[in-house]
Structures are given as C-alpha cells and as structure tokens.
Amino acid sequence: MNFSALIPLMAMLVQLWPYSLSMRNHSAQNPDLSFTGVRRVKRGWLWEPLFATEEQVSLGPLYIGQLKSDLDKQDGNLEYILTGEGAGSIFVIDEYNGKIYVTQKLDREKKPFYSLKAKAINRSTRLPVEPESEFIIKVRDVNDHEPQFLDGPYVATVPEMSPEGTSVIQVTATDGDDPSYGNSARLLYSLIQGQPYFSVEPKTGVIRMASQMDRETNDQYLVVIQAKDMVGQPGAFSATATVTINLSDVNDNPPKFQQRLYHMSVSEEAPVGTTVGKVFAEDSDIGENAAMNYSIEGDSSHVFDIITNNETQEGIILLKKTVDYESKRRYSIQAKVVNKYIDERFLKEGPFEDKTIIKINVEDADEPPVFTSENYVMEIDEGAMKGSLVGVVTARDPDDDDSPVRYSIVQSVPLKRLFSINEHNGTIITTKPLDREIASWHNITVTATETRNPEKISEANVYVQVLDVNENAPEFPKYYEIFVCENTISGQLIKTVSAVDQDDSAEGHHFSFSLAPEATNNSHFTVKDNQDNTAGIFTSKSGFRRQEQFFFYLPILIQDNGTPRLTSTNTLTVTVCNCDTEVNTFYCRYGAFLHSLGLSTEALVAVLACILILLVFFLAIVTIRQQKKKSPFSEKMEEFRENIVSYDDEGGGEEDTEAFDISALRTRTVMRTHKPRRKVTSEIHSLYRQSLQVGPDSAIFRQFISEKLEEANTDPTVPPYDSLQTYAFEGTGSLAGSLSSLGSNMSDADQSYDYLADWGPHFKQLAGMYTSHRSVGD
C-alpha cells in the first residue's frame, strides 16, 4: 500500500478504545491479566493508546496505536488482520507488527467513533493464534467550527430611564465542536458596539443597561455582540450578532403649552356651545403617557368651558353662557393642562401640569330687544271691566343706539279677543270681563321688535291669573232622593248632604247648614251641621202617614266663608214611603211615580191593559191593509205588454203569425197565460183612459221602460245583441188627430163596424166579432 498518497489529517486526536465485551470475555478466560502503566493485557493482546496531531498527518498516515499478541516472537510468523468500519480505507494495520494508521481526514461531527475487529493468525498454518477481538476507535474533537448566532439579528425593548443593571435580552451562540472535550465549544461573549450604554455578561450573553437613557434623546440603539470559542484564547474562532434595542416610553415629561398667552374673540350673538378657540400643550411622551386633560380655573368657568380632543390632544374653548358686549367686553381666563396618567417615580421631578392665560374679547352685534324678565306673572280680578289694567312688560334695545321697541301679542285668536297691548309702552289691558270659572289662567306670548330693524325680535311669556271673586253661592252637588218610612221614629238620620262652590277659596271652603226660618217652627225634620261641610237630616217626630202628606219640602240654607259671604236656599224633597223602618229605594220610587200620576196600582194596570189591546188592534189593521195593497200600475203593465205593439211593416193581419214575433216582448218572468177576451169594449175604454194619463214624462211610463230594459239585459232568451227593440210613445195633441177609434166620444152602441167586412178576408174574424158584439148590445 502506498501510504504517501494519503491525504493529511486535520488536527485531531484519535483514541484506540477496546470493545468492552471482548474485555469481559478475556478477563473470564485470563483472570491473571491486568493493566500495567499504559500497557494493557487483553486475552493475550497487548495494546497501548497513541495520540497524533493534525501536523503529523499532513505528511502521511498517522500512527494511532498498536495491537500485539503476547505470543508474538517478533519472528514474522504472525499476521495481524484488521476488519470493520473503515478498515483498509481509513484505518490500516501493519500485518507484521500490528501498528494501526489513519490514512484519511476524520470529522467528529460526521462520525464520532468506528467499530473495528482485530485478529492474529499463523502465517504457516493460517490458523488463529489469538481469537478475534473487537474494539472502538473514538475520534477526539478539535476546534474546527466557528460559533453561530442562530436566532439573530435580535430586537429588544426596554423602558427608558431604566436603572443600571436592568436585563435587556440574552443572546446565545452555538458551536458545533464537542463541549465535553477541551475548550473548543466554550464560548466567551463581549461587546463590540454599544458602550457605554450597555454591557454583556461574558459567560451568559445577557445584555444589561449600563446607564439611564432618555427615549426623547434617542429611542433606538444598535448593539454588536461577539462570541469567541476556546474561551477567547488566541487562534479561537468568533462570530458577531447585532441587537436592536428600542426604548419604550414612560411618562417622564410634563405637558407644556406652546404659548403663555392666547388671544381669542367671540360675538355676543354666538349661542351656547359655540367654539371660541383652541389651545395646545406639547408632551414629549407618546401614547397614553401624552394623554392630558384641560380645565379652566377661576371665576370665568361659568361663562366658558374647555374640553379635550382625545385624538389631537387639543383643548377646545366653548361658550358655556351667552355674553353681552354692553355688560362685559373682555374676559381673561386661566387654562390648566394635566397628564391623565402620572408615573409616581417621576413626581420628584416636578408637577406634571402647565398653565396659560387666554384673553377673550366680546364682539359687538345688533341684538334683539331684551325683556326685563323672561316670564311675567300678572293678576286680575275676575269680572273686571273692559279696559282694566293687567300689567306692563318692558323691553329695551341692549345696543348702544337704543332703538325704540314695538310690542305685540302673538297668540291664538281667543287670547287676542281677551287682551290687548299698547305697542309703545307694553301695557296689557283686558278687552272683555274674564270669568275664572271658564279659565283661571291665561298664557300670553308678547314680542318686542326693533323699529329700526324689524328682523330683531324677542319674546316673553306672560301668565295672567284670574283671581276669584266670591260671586257664586254654595249649592248641593246633586239632586238628593230622600225617603222616610211611615214607621220612622223621632231623631232618626235619613240623609247626609254636602255642598259645593264654584269659587276658589285661599283658606279652603267651609259651609254652614241650617233650616230656613220659614220651616223652623212647623217642620217635621231638623238639620244638624257636622262642621265638615256636611249636614245630617233627622226626623223630629215619630210616624208619618202617606194619606195625610206624601211629600215634604225642606228648605236648607247653605252659607260659605267667602268675602262677602253668600247664602243660598236649596230645597230637599222628602217622600213618605210605605215601609216599616228600612227604605226600599225601588219600591219607594214606584210609589212616588204612581202618586205623581194620581193613580192607584189597580188603575194603572187597567190603563196599561187598554193600551195593549189598542196596540194589538192597530197592528192587525196595518197587516190586513198591507196584504190587500197592490201596485197601481200592475194591471196597466199587463195591458201594455199585450196590446201596445209597434209594427214596422204592414203585416198580414191576425192570421199572419210570422210578420212579428210577439215573444220578444215577453220574458219568462212576465209571461202570462192567455185569458179569454172579456168585455172588449170596456177594456178598450179603460186602456184609453189610462193612455191619456201616461206620457213620456210619466213615472209609470218610465217605470215600464226601465223594467223592459232590465228584462232584456237579464233574460237569456232575448234576441241577439244586434237586434233593436223600439218602444215609442206617440203622445197626445196631434194636429192630424188619432187614427184610432179609441178617441171617439161615441159609445159602442153608436159605433158602426160594418166597414170591417170590406177590409178583406184577413179581417173577417175581427168584423164578425164586433158585429156579433153590437147585435148582443142591441
């Protein structure tokens, strides 16, 4: 084998490591074997570990150890054989002396150990001199890897003004070398960039604050950390990582107004809530640490207000109360701003607030008149005469020019009829007497208008109270029904009465009750005043007789406590009832009703019976008349339907049944059965008399036409829709006269029908009928 062609090894150590199982087996067979120094005995094998560096491998194979049998006489009779992982390629053995060499570069990170087997045989017999032994070659690590920051770059945040030593972040580097052997994987951290603000712990990589830092000065720092292996010894590998450290905000700065003095203005016409202006305080902090509240200090807080805009952190000055140029033209207010959230750690630096002065000028404007009061309350006695003074309202122009004012009432029409106002001086008077019982209060709206500028108008409310005058006497609130039994004893209460008064009383109503003087001596009843605006009616004797006196009339005097006192006489009607001691109201009312009619019970029953009989008789007559009643035109209708027919052609006489279909005038609802002709002459005269009474404007004629039209519209047997039925009325008073004999004044006896025989065979039957009729008449 050409060992000179092998590549040099890296600087690493290789250890020859016997396989533990073979050692245990050898110890069992050779209990006397033991280790002496670095020389070890294993089942007749002798071996010792050797070490090599990278420089030794660079010129050829690196010797790492030797296997030797204790039976080896060094005469070349034994042959050493190596098998297993990498045998013959990575590891070679000198077959004569058992020395083992590594011929290739080994990488512990790829394969940390190799399992090999060794045996010794006799060259002549080719038989094993020593049994096969297994051992491990472990690759020792050398520093061939650089440290690495796998999680970089790093970003960390720490509150500003944090004290020294505050932990910011921990950075960690890794090394691919074996940490359990040597210093190849032992790292040391150092700070390349970031002094004097930060420091790093060499062994742990923890970055700490080295001094207090203000975010408002610089809010971000870039720190560079270096990690070296071999504990930083010369020749060590190193790596760097960047750490971006942001300072988070804390409330360490108070707000500050941009100006120490603000100037603003507002018109005296501005309504409440108008924005007057804005102020702004700066705070170097951010977020909620810069949140602030504005307020107004001093006496001006009732005129102006300030609110905080949470988005812009501005203070908005608002008008809290209307201002008047003529009263006060300039205001000076003090505004204060305070942080919402205060960090107590920084209170020692001073209060987190600031103040400023705001000068506000009031601008003059043309204002409407101003009443001396927004609401006026006036009083007037009811019944006061027309033109009585109610009160006076006053308004003036608040501007410097002091324009004259014109007054008027702007209310409903009824109030204008009750009150009027002098447009020059605001005097309100009545236009008619007022009645408190109709309305005790009147609400009036009075306007004041500048004469020079009619658009400037103001209003005031006037409430007029109509004072009560004792003009109504007290009276009973209702009609009292009082009944007393015939067997009532003396001193019995039969009714309690009360009183009402339409007038008002400031002290409350108080009524007194008593009997009228004319009834005091001969009354059968007494009145007791209960002193609570009620009175009791008592009997003053025992026993009453209806036959002697049915009704008693008791006059009661009722007096009020008004000024002046008014008294009224109210009469109670006491009815004697046929009862023992307890009143039956229904029965007593019934008895009173009969008594008012002057009838007894028996007489009343008889009267009612007669009325009932007359009513039944009347209903019977009405029913009979309705059954006999007929339509006055029913007979005329039938005659017209059968006899009044208009033909548009000459026709063929009575025997011609095809010239005109008479069924077109008939419907199923009006079709009559044929009746034999009776008394033709009298029927013709009757028809003639009826025709004289019927005309185009006659209600009978219109009714006939309407009925025929309705029948034609509803009857399915009528001719087709394109057929035309004509109903014409000839009328009366024709200059040519009538062609009919119906209008003749001659009687049937004077009339000659002989000419009918000359009309031909078609009229033969008609001529025979009238000729026979005349013979019978003669």
Checking if the pLDDT of 393 tops 80, the result is yes
Report d(CA 320, CA 3) in Å as an integer.
Answer: 105
Q: How many CB atoms lie within 10 A of CB 467?
A: 15
- Could you give the 3-state DSSP secondary structure of residue 708? helix
Give the chain's mean pLDDT: 77
Tell me how far apart the alpha carbons of residues 459 and 370 are, in angstroms, rounded to a whole number: 8
Both tokens of residue 369? 């008149």
Question: Quick one: which of 10, 88, 81, 14 has its CA closest to 51?
Answer: 14
State the Cα–Cα distance between residues 291 and 313, nearest whole angstrom: 7
Q: What share of the chain is helix, strand, coil (3-state, %, to 5)?
A: 20, 35, 45
Cα gap 78→94, rounded to integer Å = 11
Whether the predicted pLDDT of 216 surpasses 70: yes
Q: Helix 601-628 vs helix 585-597: angle between axes, to the nearest 10 degrees?
A: 70
Rounded to whole angstroms, the Cα distance separating 746 from 461 reads: 98
Cis bond upstream, residue 271 (ω within 30): no
pLDDT tens by residue, 314-354: 999 999 999 988 888 999 999 999 998 888 888 777 788 89
Among 96, 91, 122, 97, CA closest to 14: 91
Between 357 and 685, name the one with better pLDDT. Answer: 357
Q: Are 287 and 294 in contact (CB under 8 A)?
A: no
In the predicted model, is pLDDT for residue 623 greater than 70? yes
pLDDT at 553 over 90: no
Which residue type is seen at 217? T
In the prediction, which pLDDT does 468 show? Answer: 77
Which domains does the chain possess?
50-140 (2.60.40.60), 148-248 (2.60.40.60), 256-363 (2.60.40.60), 370-467 (2.60.40.60), 481-597 (2.60.40.60)
Higher pLDDT, 724 or 452: 452
Is residue 547 over pLDDT 70?
yes
The torsion angles phi and psi of 210, rounded to 5 degrees, stand at -100, -15
Percent of the chain with pLDDT over 70: 73
Query: What are the tokens at 448?
Result: 């004041």
pLDDT digits (tens, 9 = 90+) for 11-23: 333 344 333 323 3
Q: What is the spatial distance between Cα 538 and Cα 492, in angstroms, rounded to a whole number?
A: 5
For residues 426-439, average pLDDT? 88
- The span from the CA of 115 to the CA of 134, in Å, is 7
pLDDT at position 354 is 92
E strand spans, 436-583: 441-450, 457-467, 482-485, 493-498, 512-515, 525-529, 534-539, 551-559, 567-577
Q: Which residues contact 462 (CB under 8 A, 6 or more apart)?
A: 375, 376, 378, 391, 393, 428, 443, 444, 445, 446
Give the three-class secondary structure for 291: coil
pLDDT tens-place string over residues 294-310: 999 877 778 999 999 99
240-251 pLDDT tens trace: 999 999 999 898
What pLDDT is recorded for position 414? 58
Which two tokens mark 603? 């007489």
Burial per residue of 15-37, b for 16 or more beta-carbon CB atoms within 10 angstroms, e otherwise: ebbbbeebbebbeeeeeebeeee
- Residue 159 pLDDT > 70, yes or no? yes
Q: For the chain, give the longest Cα–Cα distance.
A: 203
Residue keyed to tokens 């009918």? 756
Question: What is the three-class DSSP state of 4?
Answer: helix
Cα–Cα distance measured from residue 427 to residue 394, given in angstroms and rounded to the nearest whole number: 9
Looking at residue 720, its pLDDT comes to 58
CA 77 to chain centre: 111
How far from 654 is each of 103, 376, 658, 763, 767, CA to CA, in Å? Answer: 159, 105, 10, 7, 12
Instruction: Tell me how far CA of residue 153 lies from CA of 145, 171, 248, in angstroms.
Output: 20, 10, 19
For CA atoms 770, 772, 774, 776, the dihedral sign is negative
Predicted structure pTM score: 0.43
Report the C-alpha gap between 207 and 199 in whole angstroms.
6
- pLDDT of 23 reads 32
Whether the Cβ atoms of residue 471 and residue 505 lie closer than 8 Å to each other: no
Instruction: Quote the CA–CA distance of 635 and 75 in Å, as a whole number.
Output: 176
Window from 244-248, 525-529, 765-769 with minimum mean pLDDT: 765-769
